[in-house]
């Protein structure tokens, strides 16, 4: 069932509480915020829409895991300052989340002004979905807009408690996420062939996605750490690489089912290996998958594999990508991801949907965001959506 969109909600001139996701890697330093502000930029259309409607815009977000306590390093003011730069209008960063001081600040807001509440998770009631906390933040506004897709899989006070207390709707970001990811699940003949490009560290993270998508796929392309378990399942010696022993049978089952369904399977034919898991490993070389030395670790797909993966993607009309092809955060082991991402970005007339988390970070770091059809802002949320699960933060919103 379609959910109410912000364009269908009467917001003109009202106080609007907007749940955003400004949970960025602040531990990298305040001065680096501009380098990882995708989630801030993704909310700009909704905030600007509300400003144009002469709303008093009250933003709320969490940052990090303060455990229900105030942590100075996790205050949102530096993030609010970056948002103000991106918006081109002032953002009033409040030092509290709830309380008389916050109520006074909101009451003094003028139409078109923007305020940012302090970190929601400074209050234990947020993650516990405490009704009293939900009432406190809901009391600041006349209506609520959910624009934090990355936390829609969490049943917290700001994601499911508040929508039950105020007239509510999806923001433009959440609306775009639901539509784009929904198209990846509802594949029509004109959008085929469909490829799932899967990477990242673990098979276990992608089990439900594979089970939900497998029957719809034309190509299953597996790289990253999870490909090591698939290679082991095929009988290859994978050296000292980490193996999910309890997922070997699942990997064999996926390969068998895919063959029965006529899905083309693409696994690495060559890999980049290192003598230790380190960015400055002394020994690094590319070998065929049947020549991985004992005690060495698979760190990336090889150049031939990257080229073959790119060629297979070029045959498709729709691509769903979740997970890097190697240890992308180490430059020496990022080339496989870079090659595949570059190939996807160069495709014309192809729908490319990129899952959130580390995949989105890689695409952002490479400057390819605008050349993909959709880059999700949600890691866990995008995975659960692709698994076919209901997301509490979406379910809590009223139907259109």
Query: Which pLDDT band holds residue 346 (cuts at 50, 70, 90)?
Result: very high
Task: Centre a 10 Å sphere on the Cβ of residue 216 and count the other Cβ atoms it contains.
Answer: 17
List, in order of start, the domains of the chain with CATH numbers.
Answer: 6-173 (3.40.50.1260), 180-386 (3.40.50.1260)
Helices (H), the chain: 38-52, 77-87, 100-107, 124-127, 131-138, 172-185, 207-213, 224-233, 248-261, 303-313, 335-345, 358-365, 380-386, 392-395
The DSSP secondary-structure symbol of 399 reads B
| pLDDT recorded at residue 135 | 97
Mean pLDDT of 356-380: 87
| pLDDT recorded at residue 249 | 94
| pLDDT recorded at residue 53 | 97
Mean pLDDT of 113-130: 98
Query: Which pLDDT band holds residue 186 (cuts at 50, 70, 90)?
Result: confident
Query: Which pLDDT band holds residue 98 (cuts at 50, 70, 90)?
Result: very high
Mean pLDDT of 134-163: 97
Q: Rounded mean pLDDT of the chain?
A: 93
Q: Is 270 in contact with 302 (CB distance < 8 Å)?
A: yes
Give tens-digit pLDDT for 239-287: 999 999 999 999 999 999 999 999 999 999 999 999 999 999 999 999 9
Which residue matches tokens 């600040």? 105
User: Is the confidence at residue 1, as pLDDT, over 70?
Assistant: no
3-state secondary structure of 250: helix
Give tens-digit pLDDT for 7-22: 999 999 999 999 999 9
The DSSP secondary-structure symbol of 153 reads T
Task: Centre a 10 Å sphere on the Cβ of residue 235 and count the other Cβ atoms it contains.
Answer: 7
CA distances from 97 to 103, 184, 257 (A): 10, 37, 51
User: Is the confidence at residue 381, as pLDDT, over 80?
Assistant: yes
Residues tagged active-site:
39, 202, 357, 380
Q: Report how far residue 192's alpha carbon sits from residue 183's, in angstroms, rounded to the nearest whole number.
A: 12
| pLDDT recorded at residue 25 | 82
Mean pLDDT of 97-113: 97
Q: Is 141 in contact with 16 (CB distance < 8 Å)?
A: yes
| pLDDT recorded at residue 108 | 97
Query: Which pLDDT band holds residue 224 (cuts at 50, 70, 90)?
Result: very high
Burial of 29 (0-12, 13-18, 19+ CB in 10 A): exposed
Instruction: Report phi then psi at 254, rounded to 5.
Output: -60, -45
Least reliable range by pLDDT among 67-81, 176-190, 304-318 = 176-190
Least reliable range by pLDDT among 155-159, 163-167, 210-214 = 210-214
| DSSP string covering 64-113 | S--TTS--GGG-SHHHHHHHHHHHTS-EEE-S-SSSHHHHHHHHTPPTT-
Give tens-digit pLDDT for 28-79: 777 778 877 888 999 999 999 999 999 999 999 999 999 999 999 999 999 9
Question: Could you tell me what percent of the chain has a pLDDT over 70?
Answer: 100
Omega before 193 within 30 of 0, i.e. cis:
yes
User: Is the confidence at residue 360, as pLDDT, over 90?
Assistant: no
């Amino acid at each position: 069932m379609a959910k109410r969109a912000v364009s269908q909600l009467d917001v003109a001139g009202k106080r609007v509480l907007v749940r955003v996701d400004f949970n960025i890697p602040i531990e990298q330093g305040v001065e680096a915020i501009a380098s990882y502000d995708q989630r801030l930029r993704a909310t700009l259309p909704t905030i600007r829409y509300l400003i144009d409607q002469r709303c008093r815009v009250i933003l709320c977000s969490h940052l990090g895991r303060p455990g229900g306590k105030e942590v100075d390093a996790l205050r949102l003011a530096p993030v609010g300052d970056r948002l103000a730069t991106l918006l081109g209008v002032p953002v009033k960063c409040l030092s509290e989340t709830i309380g008389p001081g916050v109520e006074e600040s909101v009451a003094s807001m003028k139409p078109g002004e923007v305020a940012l509440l302090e970190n929601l998770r400074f209050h234990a009631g947020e993650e516990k979905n405490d009704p009293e906390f939900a009432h406190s933040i809901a009391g600041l506004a006349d209506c609520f807009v959910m624009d934090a897709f990355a936390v829609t899989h969490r049943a917290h006070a700001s994601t499911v408690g508040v929508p039950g207390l105020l007239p509510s709707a999806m923001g433009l970001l959440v609306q775009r996420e639901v539509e784009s990811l929904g198209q990846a699940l509802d594949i029509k003949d004109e959008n085929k062939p469909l490829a799932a490009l899967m990477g990242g560290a673990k098979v276990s993270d992608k089990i439900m996605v594979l089970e939900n998508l497998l029957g719809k796929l034309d190509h299953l392309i597996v790289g990253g750490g999870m490909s090591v378990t698939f290679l082991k399942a095929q009988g290859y010696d994978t050296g000292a690489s980490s193996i999910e022993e309890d997922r070997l049978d699942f990997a064999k089952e996926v390969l068998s089912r895919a063959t029965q369904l006529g899905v083309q399977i693409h696994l690495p034919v060559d890999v980049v290996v290192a003598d230790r898991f380190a960015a400055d490993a002394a020994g690094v070389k590319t070998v065929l998958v049947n020549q991985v030395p004992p005690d060495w670790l698979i760190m990336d797909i090889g150049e031939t594999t990257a080229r073959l993966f790119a060629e297979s993607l070029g045959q498709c009309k729709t691509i769903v990508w979740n997970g890097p092809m190697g240890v992308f955060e180490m430059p020496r082991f990022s080339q496989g991801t870079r090659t595949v991402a570059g190939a996807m970005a160069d495709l014309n007339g192809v729908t490319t949907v990129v899952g959130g988390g580390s995949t989105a970070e890689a695409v952002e770091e490479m400057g390819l965001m605008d050349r993909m059809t959709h880059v999700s802002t949600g890691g866990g949320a995008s995975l659960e959506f692709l698994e076919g699960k209901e997301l509490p933060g979406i379910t809590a919103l009223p139907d259109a």
